[in-house]
Amino acid sequence: MDFISSKNIFLLTRDTLKLIDREIMKHGSRTGYIFYKLLLESGGYEKFELAEWAMLGTLHDIGAYKTNLSDEFVQFELKNVMPHSVYGYLFFKYLSPMSGRSKVLLYHHLDVAKLKKTPFEYSKETELLSLAEKVDIYRMTLGEKFDLSLFEKFRDTKFSSSSLELIQRTEEKHHIFEKIDSEEFEKELDHLMDYIMFTNEEKKKYMEMLMYCLGFRSQNQVVDSVTCVCICEELAKRLFLDEKTTEKLYYGALLHDLGMLAIPSEIIDARRSLTEDETVLMRTHVGISENILKNRLDEEVLGIVLAHHERIDGSGYPQCIKENDMTLPMKILQVADTVTALINERSYKQVLGKDDAISTLRKEVSLNHFTKQIVEPMIVSYDDIMQKVNYESDEILKMNHKMEKQFHQVCEKYGM
């Protein structure tokens, strides 16, 4: 897949999660950098391996975007550690290409004594990630009062002597704290990602993982995205799009609502009509998507994303472009996104049945918002397409139910 580079997968993932909570990601980036430097100093890793571990370190608190948005930062990192560790583990296990390393997220708050009792392939990396995280938290909390000597009280209890000696050596040699304070570390971390290497299948999995990140705000948004992707794929078949164009449409549909992560939940879930100001704010999600996707994604795919609220008569937004400036995949996504809004649950309206949905689509054609070229195949194949949509949506809901069930089972076991 040449639509996005491996490095841009990392940058896009990082910046997407920033939309949800900037402070969690800033902590993740600093922790990922300290973790990388510890592994570098310990030796034995190739550049691409260091890049992969740095990415995992940056995303180590991914579960917190779901479980701890209302908690104080220090609260969920030092006192209430299990919920986000468990959810992050499950998220990585089922929805990321890093499933084999998912237990690192589960165990990264364990003391070294407990970690030694847990047979685990990545125990060394887990301990160093835990150390990197605690160092960042203590530095951010204590400011100028911070000193590495504070960690001596944790020697051979929370952290091994070798790890504490490693962090001291790493700081003396690489001046990691100075680079963090000057924010120079960000450029160094970005440069490291020049060496990261993903297969096409891994890239696809990461792109799909971004869609699942929408579920940190609302599971309905994940179902909407899956519905939209499925409708796009089915229409692409009926309109005989070639394989490459279909693939571009797929990724456009997959990513088209990423910007919604920056829209306040009280607007997304409002059980009423939005005010004029709220509507303006809601519409900024397209520009927000552009900001994080631009120069990181194939231009045609980006164009599909940015045009999903345009209409062929120029009445759409944000650019008010007309049909002559639209590609076929753009027009397909516009119809698919509209059908998704009609048939899926919303806080402010009832779900439309088949007859009402088809009637609405025909009205949109009469208003010159959509072309018959796209709408007619949708209407003619409505039942078959909906059958596929229902299957795909059910699979997503089953996966979500499985994760939630396992999450609550672990929480109950440990009294969380």
Q: In this predicted model, what pLDDT tens digit does every residue of 301-322 receive, in sequence order?
A: 999 999 999 999 999 999 999 9
Residue at 71 is within a domain: yes
Specify whether 273 is located in the same domain as 124: no
Q: What average pLDDT score do residues 339-367 get?
A: 90
Q: What is the CATH number of the domain that holds 300?
A: 1.10.3210.10
Q: What average pLDDT score do residues 253-277 get?
A: 89
Residue at 168 is within a domain: yes
Domain boundaries, position 165: 6-199
- Strand, coil or helix: 175: coil
Specify whether 224 is located in the same domain as 186: no
User: Is the pLDDT reported for residue 116 higher than 90?
Assistant: no
Q: Structurally, how many domains does the chain consist of?
A: 2
Specify whether 172 is located in the same domain as 80: yes
Lowest mean pLDDT among 53-57, 164-168, 170-174, 398-402: 398-402
What pLDDT shows up at residue 397?
A: 82
Residue at 312 is within a domain: yes
Q: Which of 145, 168, 199 is the last residue of a domain?
A: 199
Residue at 210 is within a domain: no
The pLDDT confidence band at residue 414, using thresholds 50, 70 and 90, is: low
Nearest of 259, 222, 261 to residue 24 by alpha carbon: 261
Q: Which of 153, 170, 199 is the last residue of a domain?
A: 199
User: Is the pLDDT reported for residue 74 higher than 80?
Assistant: no
User: Is the pLDDT reported for residue 359 higher than 90?
Assistant: yes
Specify whether 152 is located in the same domain as 243: no
What pLDDT shows up at residue 81?
A: 75
What pLDDT shows up at residue 163?
A: 97
- Strand, coil or helix: 21: coil
The pLDDT confidence band at residue 179, using thresholds 50, 70 and 90, is: very high
Specify whether 98 is located in the same domain as 232: no
User: Is the pLDDT reported for residue 396 higher than 80?
Assistant: yes
Lowest mean pLDDT among 1-5, 36-40, 137-141, 389-393: 1-5
Name the residue with tokens 């991914």. 62
Specify whether 246 is located in the same domain as 358: yes
Residue at 280 is within a domain: yes
Specify whether 192 is located in the same domain as 234: no
- Strand, coil or helix: 346: strand
Residue at 378 is within a domain: yes
What are the CA-CA distances from residue 47 to residues 13, 37, 40, 183, 203 (Å)? Answer: 20, 12, 9, 22, 19
404 against 232, higher pLDDT: 232
Specify whether 147 is located in the same domain as 247: no
Give me the residues paired with residue 155 across strands: 159
Distance of alpha carbon 334 from the chain centroid = 23
Residue at 286 is within a domain: yes
Chain mean pLDDT for the chain: 92
Specify whether 271 is located in the same domain as 398: yes
Specify whether 228 is located in the same domain as 188: no
The pLDDT confidence band at residue 266, using thresholds 50, 70 and 90, is: confident
Specify whether 282 is located in the same domain as 176: no
The CA-based angle 303-307-312, given to 5 degrees, is 125
Could you give the CA distance from residue 33 to residue 14 in angstroms, rounded to a whole number?
13
